[in-house]
Amino acid sequence: MLNGILKDPRKSLEEMAISIQNGDELALNELLATYKPFIKKTISTVCQHYIEESDDEFSIGLLAFYEAIKKYDFKRGSSLLAFAKVIIQRKIIDYIRSNSKYKNLSTPFDINDYAPNSTIELMENNLSISVYYLKQDEKNRREEITRFQELLSSYKLSFDDLIKHSPKHEDARRNAFQVANVIAKDKDILEQLTANKKIPMKKLEKKVNVSRKTLEINRKYIIAVSLILAGDFLYLKEYIKGRIEE
């Protein structure tokens, strides 16, 4: 594993990227030196021949790797290497298209046989940063929903309960959200909820100005939202907030 040869094994590649974004030049030099083989391999795959460090292509790839580090967004939970590969490929493709020595380049990157708006442009679009992050977001969202469904099943609830039992009126939905927020932030109530799989109503009633009847009516929604707010559910939190602000 490349990560294993970094000087500070306690830091992941992504954590080192964040340090570099914050101005850590030592980490930058270390990372560039460590990942030269990865950069060379990525470039060679596109160019269809071995790349030396003295080649222009390597310089372009090195700068592209640095650009990837600077643009990497750790909040999206994506792999820096996968993202860097995208950026390096795009930069090398741009270089190939502008350099006559590649006029006879064969597949998979034969750039001279394509008319405008054809395969090469589609390939470049697929490698764009925005498309990369969009695909990553879709993947992360699906994984997050799966995790949440598994969590809900332990409470004998389903994802549909979050939708079906969502209060219809804005005020009621906002109040239920506030109750869920109280649960998520109250360590004692949250621990009892997670341990017993049900809301400790007596304790909750002392914390909120909501009737027992209303709490019971919105129980499923409150539990589901509480679990989202208390857990690592980035996309679902945005969904819930969107529902509250409707």
> Cα dihedral sign for 201, 207, 210, 211?
positive
**Whole-number pLDDT of residue 187:** 92
Spans of the chain below 70 pLDDT: 1-11, 76-78, 100-136, 242-246
Residue 100 lies in a domain: yes
Q: Final residue of a domain: which of 127, 161, 180?
A: 127
Clarify whether residues 115 and 143 are in a common domain. Answer: no
Query: Residue 175 sits in which domain range?
Result: 138-245
87 half-sphere exposure, CB direction, 13 A CA radius:
23
Clarify whether residues 66 and 178 are in a common domain. Answer: no
Can you tell me the distance from the alpha carbon of 37 to that of 47, in angstroms, rounded to the nearest whole number? 15
CA proximity to 6, closest of 50, 38, 42, 53: 38
Clarify whether residues 10 and 78 are in a common domain. Answer: yes
Clarify whether residues 80 and 111 are in a common domain. Answer: yes
Clarify whether residues 153 and 180 are in a common domain. Answer: yes
Residue 20 lies in a domain: yes
Residue 133 lies in a domain: no
Clarify whether residues 117 and 196 are in a common domain. Answer: no
**Whole-number pLDDT of residue 51:** 81
Q: Final residue of a domain: which of 127, 160, 190?
A: 127
Tell me which amino acid residue 85 is: K
**Whole-number pLDDT of residue 165:** 75
**Whole-number pLDDT of residue 194:** 92
Clarify whether residues 122 and 17 are in a common domain. Answer: yes
**Whole-number pLDDT of residue 191:** 94
Torsion on CA atoms 212, 216, 221, 226, rounded to nearest 10: 50
Can you tell me the distance from the alpha carbon of 54 to that of 40, in angstroms, rounded to the nearest whole number? 11
**How many structural domains are present in the chain?**
2
Three-state DSSP state, 165 = coil
* Residue 180 · residue 225 · CB < 8 Å: yes
Model confidence, pTM: 0.50
Three-state DSSP state, 167 = coil
**Whole-number pLDDT of residue 139:** 76
**Whole-number pLDDT of residue 151:** 92
Can you tell me the distance from the alpha carbon of 28 to that of 86, in angstroms, rounded to the nearest whole number? 19
Clarify whether residues 176 and 110 are in a common domain. Answer: no
Can you tell me the distance from the alpha carbon of 121 to that of 13, in angstroms, rounded to the nearest whole number? 31
H or E stretch at 60? helix 56-71
**Whole-number pLDDT of residue 184:** 92
Residue 132 lies in a domain: no
Q: Where are the extended beta strands (E) located within 56-206?
A: none
CB atoms closer than 10 angstroms to residue 193:
22
Q: Final residue of a domain: which of 81, 101, 127?
A: 127
Residue 16 lies in a domain: yes
Clarify whether residues 117 and 161 are in a common domain. Answer: no
